[in-house]
Amino acid sequence: MIHELRLCELKAGGWIERFLKTQASGLTGNMGRIGKPFVTKYWEGEKDIVVGEDENFLGGLNCVDDAWTPFEQNAYWIDGMIRCGWLIDDKKLIEYAEGKIYPAIENADADGYIGPSFLKDGMLWAHSVYFRALMAEYEATGDGRILEALKKHYIRADLKERIKSPSGARIIAVRDISAIECALWLYGKTKDERFLEMSEEAYAVFNQIYADDSDAPEGAEMRDLTLQGMLSDRKVCRNHGVTYNEICKLPAILYLYTKKEIYKRAAVNAFDKLYRDQMLIDGVNSSSEYLNGNSDSQAAHETCDISDLTWALGYLFMITGDGKYGDWIENAVFNAGLGAVDDDFRGEQYFSCPNQVLADDTSNHLFFFRGEDWMSYAPEKFLSCCAGNVHRFMPNYVARSWMCDREGLIAFLYAPSVCRTEVRGSFVEIEEKTSYPFRNSVKFYIKTEGTAEFSLRLRMPSWAVRTHISINGRDYSYRLEGSMIRIDRIFSDGDVIDLEFEDKIEFIQNAGGVSLKKGPLLYALPIREEKIILGLRDRNNEDFPHYALYPGSKWNYGMPSVREIDPIFRSTASVQEEPWRAGNSGLSIDVVVHGIPAWKLRKVNAFLTRKTPRGKGTIVHKKALFTPRVRNFSLSQTEKEEIVKLVPYATTRLRISIFPVIE
C-alpha cells in the first residue's frame, strides 16, 4: 500500500521553500491581523463563543442557526498554516498555529467532544476540516495528546446515527460523511477496529440517504456523490465543486483500509468523469460554486477547489499508483494555484479564470454574485472559505511530493525538498534539487549510513517526449513500470541521480478557443497591470490593501487557425530565486497573433445576478466591466499579424490563456 511520509520527514527546499516563506510572511502568518472571521479566536478552546452575524457569511445560504462557517474557514487556515510552518521550520508560525490546536483539545468536554458547545449535535463538516490540522500536527510531532483526544471525540457518539439525522441545508449536510476521513486515519494509527466499522457503517447509511433525489430541491441533487452515482458514466453537472471533490475522495480512503474493489472503481471513475466534463485548461474543475462544465471560456473555479481537488487526487494515487494523478496535481498547483494569488501572497481570488482582463470590485462575470468583487485579488469583504483554503495547496503539494510503500520510496510530485526517513530498515536522506516546473531537470543526492537496498520510483510525466537518467554520471537504462520509472539498487552514500525530461509545445483546443502548454506549464499573454489602491481591509493593515487591477496593454489578440510560423520557445540559462513572480521564470514563447478590435471589454449598466448558485436571477442596475467571452473571428475582422510573448500562467494575474481562433 502506498502511503504518505510523516510531515516530520520532509522539508521544503529551493524555490518552494522561498514561496512558503513568502506565504508565511504574507496572508498565512497574518490572517488574524487582516479581516473577519480570522480575527476572532475560533478553535482556541472557548466553549460558549458567540459568532458575529458579519462573520457567518456563506454565499446565499442561511446558516444563522448553527453558524458553522467561520469554524470551517479558520480550520482551513490552521491546516495550511501548521503544515507550512513545519515544512520550513518556522517556529513563529508553528507556535501561532499550535495556539489554535492544543487549547481546543485541552478544553474538550468530559465525554471527549472537541469544539464549541453549539456544534456538539450540529453538522460535522467544520470538524472534519479542523481535524486535518490536528492530524498534520501529530504527523509532525507524534504528540500522543492529539491521538487520544481524537479517539475520545469519535468514540463518544455513533457516527452513523449522526448521518441518519442530517442538519442544515442538504447541500451542506451531505458533507457530514467527510468525518470518516479522520476516523479512517485513526484506524490506520491505532488498528482499533471500531474506527473502521463506524466509517463503513456511516458510509452505507450515507449511500442510502443520498441515492434518492426525488424530493431534493434544484441544485441539491446528490446521487452523483454516492457509490451508485460515482460508478455511473452519466455526465456530472449538478453538484457543488468543493463538495464533489471532498466526498468523492472518501471511497479511495476506504479502499486503503478495506481493499474492496468497489470503492476503488467508484473513486477512479468519479474523478475521470470530473476531468472529462469539468476540467478547465489551468488544471482545476469549473466551480462557480457548482460544477458548470468546461465549454465556456468564462467558466471559473473557486480557489477552494485548487486545494480540495489536489488533496483528493493524492488519495487516488495511493490506491492506484497511477502517475497521471501527479500530472493532474502539478497542473492544478503550478497553473491555477499560482495564478490565483499575487506574488507576495498578500492577495487571493475567490473565483479565478483562465482569461482575466481586469480584476476589480465589479469584474466577476459569473452568474453567482455577478458584478461584485469575487474576482478581485484583494476583496473588500473577506470571502472567507477561499481566504482560508488558499493556504493549503502548496504545503500539501510538498507534504505529498514523496510517498513510500514496502519496496521503497516514490518521487510522486517533483519539488525541491529534503526527505529523511527509514527505508527497509536503513536510514536514508534524499535531497531533491530542482527548479521544476520552470525547468525539467531534477537531481537527487543520496545519503545513507553505509549502503541501503530499496526501490526508488520516479514519476514519468505523460507530457514527456523523451527522458534521460544517469546515476553518478553514467547513463542508466531505466525500467518503466506503468507511469513510474523504477530503479532497484543498492544505494551508497553520495550517489547522485540526474533526471531530465524533454517536452514540446502543445496547441490545445478548449472552451471555443486555443491554448498553449509546454510540459506542466500553461502559457498566457501577460497584461500589463494598472494597480489602483482602493483603501484598506477591515483591520486597516497597510501591508494588505484593497486594490483593483486594470489592463495597461493590448490584450485582444487571436491566433490564426493555420500557423505558417511555428512558435519559438525561449529560455534563459538560469531561473531566479522566485520564479513565480512576473518576469522571473526566464521562460517565454513567441507566437504569431492578430489584433481583434471587435473583441472588447464588456461594459454594462445592468445585468442578471444570482445570490445563490442555482437560484433565480435578479436584475441589478449598476455599471460593471467584464472580461469578454472567447468566440471565433474571421480574418477580415483582424489587424495585421504581430508576434507576442507568452509567459507561464503562474507568473500572471491579468492574462489571456484561451485565444480566439481566426478562421
| 399 Cβ neighbours under 8 A, 6+ residues apart | 4, 7, 10, 83, 87, 136
pTM for the full predicted model: 0.97
**Is 589 exposed, middle or buried, given 0-12, 13-18 or 19+ CB atoms closer than 10 A?**
buried
Are 410 and 471 members of one domain? yes
Classify the C-alpha dihedral 307-308-309-313 as positive or negative.
positive
How far is the CA of 285 from the CAs of 277, 319, 349, in angstroms? Answer: 9, 22, 16
Are 427 and 453 members of one domain? yes
Tell me, yes or no, whether 395 lies in a domain: no
Q: What is the pLDDT of residues 249-259, one digit of tens each?
A: 999 999 999 99
Domain boundary among 159, 187, 216: 159
Count other Cβ atoms within 10 Å, centred on residue 183. 26
Q: Does residue 492 sit in helix, strand or coil?
A: strand
The number of angstroms, rounded, from the C-alpha of 451 to the middle of its chain's C-alpha atoms is 38
Are 471 and 525 members of one domain? no
Domain that holds residue 85: 7-159
3-state secondary structure 244-308: HHHHHCHHHHHHHHHCCHHHHHHHHHHHHHHHHHHECCCCCECEECECCCCCCCCCCEEHHHHHH
Mean per-residue pLDDT pooled into runs of 10, the chain (663 residues): 96 98 97 89 92 71 71 97 98 98 97 95 94 98 98 96 86 94 98 98 97 83 94 87 97 98 98 97 95 95 97 98 98 98 95 97 94 86 85 98 97 98 97 97 97 97 98 95 96 98 97 98 98 82 90 98 90 90 96 97 95 86 97 96 97 98 94
φ/ψ (deg, to 5) at 14: 55, -140
**Residue 522: per-residue pLDDT:** 98
Are 645 and 560 members of one domain? yes
Say which CATH number the domain at 419 has: 2.60.40.1180
Q: What does the alpha-carbon distance between residue 628 and residue 505 come to, in Å, rounded to a whole number?
A: 26
Are 498 and 576 members of one domain? no
C-beta separation of 198 from 177 below 8 A: no
DSSP 509-535: EETTEEEEEETTEEEEEE--EEEEEEE
**Residue 381: per-residue pLDDT:** 64
Q: What does the alpha-carbon distance between residue 68 and residue 358 come to, in Å, rounded to a whole number?
A: 33
Q: What does the alpha-carbon distance between residue 42 and residue 75 come to, in Å, rounded to a whole number?
A: 9
**Closest listed residue to residue 146, CA positions, set 104, 110, 187:** 104
Are 130 and 35 members of one domain? yes
Are 458 and 528 members of one domain? no
**Residue 148: per-residue pLDDT:** 98
Q: What does the alpha-carbon distance between residue 272 and residue 236 come to, in Å, rounded to a whole number?
A: 11
In DSSP terms, 607 is beta-bridged to: 620
Q: What does the alpha-carbon distance between residue 142 and residue 146 come to, in Å, rounded to a whole number?
A: 8
Strand blocks (E) in 354-393: none
Tell me, yes or no, whether 49 lies in a domain: yes
Are 452 and 535 members of one domain? no
Are 625 and 477 members of one domain? no
C-beta separation of 188 from 135 below 8 A: no
Are 452 and 573 members of one domain? no
**Residue 564: per-residue pLDDT:** 82
φ/ψ (deg, to 5) at 276: -65, -45
Are 428 and 576 members of one domain? no
Tell me, yes or no, whether 473 lies in a domain: yes
The number of angstroms, rounded, from the C-alpha of 549 to the middle of its chain's C-alpha atoms is 24
Domains identified in the chain, total number: 3
Tell me, yes or no, whether 654 lies in a domain: yes
Tell me, yes or no, whether 477 lies in a domain: yes
**Residue 624: per-residue pLDDT:** 96
Domain boundary among 460, 478, 502: 502
Tell me, yes or no, whether 649 lies in a domain: yes
Domain boundary among 456, 483, 502: 502
**Residue 434: per-residue pLDDT:** 97
CA-CA-CA-CA torsion for 521, 524, 527, 529, nearest 10 degrees?
A: -20
Tell me, yes or no, whether 106 lies in a domain: yes
Are 532 and 497 members of one domain? no
How far is the CA of 272 from the CAs of 240, 277, 309, in angstroms? Answer: 17, 9, 12
**Residue 54: per-residue pLDDT:** 75
Give the residue carrying C-alpha cell 507568452.
Answer: 646
Tell me, yes or no, whether 237 lies in a domain: no
Q: What does the alpha-carbon distance between residue 31 and residue 347 come to, in Å, rounded to a whole number?
A: 11
Q: What does the alpha-carbon distance between residue 359 and residue 531 come to, in Å, rounded to a whole number?
A: 10
